[in-house]
Structure 1
């Protein structure tokens, strides 16, 4: 995001960014690859999670929510690709620009919160099984949690819904979408500070810390009470989740903070680095199916069966033990 500073003219450095066709083409190619993987991977995941996986545990409900956000991003990517290939010219109007921008950021932050919810669910089930057992109507709680996450993200991103994010650049004959923002998009610097704090600290750093805490404790507990294969799957799951955070989400959020501060106070820019980080943040929609694979035993079983890789003696082909006593090892056998 660059800042127009309430002027109809942009500085030469900003104008040169929109004339860099090589970067625009590179970003478009990355989006195309992400789009193909997104639609295939998440299409299969949604079918398996909704129609082939039972029972619908809280983790499965969270995974369905995560898949839904990823598929919404996939449906928005063709518009972003067309925008990039047309030289940053947006022709679909301000409302569509605001809606697709909202889809991009909602996907990111709903994904972060959903990963945190999955980690908390596994932490309670494995590290605090007695607390987990006392929670009644866990499916209902998971559904309500998903709605609360969406409500929190949409309330924080409310300025994106109420602001015209398009900007005319007569020098280049183009209209940008969420690439040039007016400084008065928010009424004051304190409003900008609150907006950035909510996005970066509340929707990113706090969930990241909670997720890390949960998986560290899960691995520690499984190392004492579970088989080697169960522990290895838990470690792989933790590594995939942390990879998504560090590769997809961390660069974008930190660059957003640094770029906005530089632009508001020093009239400098990290726009192109931020633009690339936003592109790579979409990779989370390609990595999320790996989270399902390591987090849900039945998802692995159904996927292997669909791909004709399941063997009659495989450890993952054993039945779900619904009627055994509830303890840490049983929960790990069902969900790990």
Structure 2
């Protein structure tokens, strides 16, 4: 929401007084944080220490896991903020930093999933033409740095602006729930900011990713290796689900809300806020992308599961043997 003064409209006040919505979002964030840190912690350990060689896909997955774990570390602060009734007590610098982490995770995840899709496209659809390119780790690392540079340059206003806002009617200080209209110098600057986020960082990568996975599935459609084809289809479906249900609602509602707020003084912020929390679900689904995208990751995870099953079976056998001996 944007505001030109300390007095807010009734819709904004009503949203900030909706304690039940804040509790619901907090419970959802707790669920996301637990799965995020568990799943991505295991994924990072496998990717860094148990997966070799470090192919382009693996490097992209490490980049994606880092962003997911950063989000998992930031969510507890959001949980506390919502449970305290949208009262921010950690100061403007911490507010800006955590907001940056929140949005950087979303857009770096989008760009990284696009990069993984392009890598699979090159490996399956164009293997001869791009074989040399795919083997150069430096290109992959440079690609990751370009992604971060693009995201951070786009989100630069969030780093340089005080995103806290004191609401005298409720005697609370919000964090990124009410934006000052002068955060950017003009309506044209706001339009450029929103256009870059929605179209450059979301819609374009979504189209590229969709093209890559459709091309991969078509290429494998006549392949005799049905297991490879099934994994490619499952990977494509997971990625499209993440884009469609985690990222698309948030980005489109951001655009709609901003246009309504800037030009018509109306708001759909409650829906946008809920979609923003739902976008964090992507960090829980990313390990499934690793499983279907990387043969090495899949093999190492299966090995761990098999070892656990074997050790459990051995324990049961020992217990049965001891029980039998004691009965004798």
TM-score by length of 2: 0.93
C-alpha deviations, 1:178-231, integer Å up to 9, x for none?
Answer: 000011111011101100110000000000000000000001111123411110
Larger displacement relative to structure 2 (300-309 or 192-201): 300-309
Quote the residue 1:68 is aligned against: 66
Please give the root-mean-square deviation of Cα atoms over the aligned residues, in Å: 1.4
CA distance in structure 2 between the aligned counterparts of 1:26 and 1:51, rounded to whole angstroms: 37
Deviation at 1:134, TM superposition (A): 3.1
Quote the residue 1:202 is aligned against: 200
Partner SS for 2:162 = coil
Map of 1:90-101 to 2, 5 A cutoff? 90-101=88-99
Alignment of 1:260 onto 2:264: no
Quote the residue 1:223 is aligned against: 221
Contact 1:240 1:291 in 2 (8 A): yes
C-alpha deviations, 1:33-82, integer Å up to 9, x for none?
Answer: 00000000000000000000001000000000000000000000000000
Deviation at 1:12, TM superposition (A): 1.7
Quote the residue 2:2 is aligned against: 3
Quote the residue 1:84 is aligned against: 82
Quote the residue 1:19 is aligned against: 17
Kindly name which structure, 1 or 2, has the bigger radius of gyration based on alpha carbons.
2
C-alpha deviations, 1:290-318, integer Å up to 9, x for none?
Answer: 0000000111111111112799xxxxxxx
Over 3 Å off, 4+ runs: none
Partner SS for 2:157 = helix
Contact 1:304 1:310 in 2 (8 A): no
CA distance in structure 2 between the aligned counterparts of 1:9 and 1:295, rounded to whole angstroms: 51
Quote the residue 1:235 is aligned against: 233
Listed as ranges, the gaps of 5+ residues in structure 1 are 312-336
Quote the residue 1:161 is aligned against: 159
Contact 2:56 2:135 in 1 (8 A): no
1:125 to 99, 108, 123: 123
Contact 2:36 2:72 in 1 (8 A): yes
TM-score by length of 1: 0.90
- The number of residues matched between the two structures is 310
CA distance in structure 1 between the aligned counterparts of 2:30 and 2:264, rounded to whole angstroms: 35
Deviation at 1:138, TM superposition (A): 1.9
Contact 1:38 1:70 in 2 (8 A): yes
Listed as ranges, the gaps of 5+ residues in structure 2 are 310-328
Contact 1:88 1:175 in 2 (8 A): yes
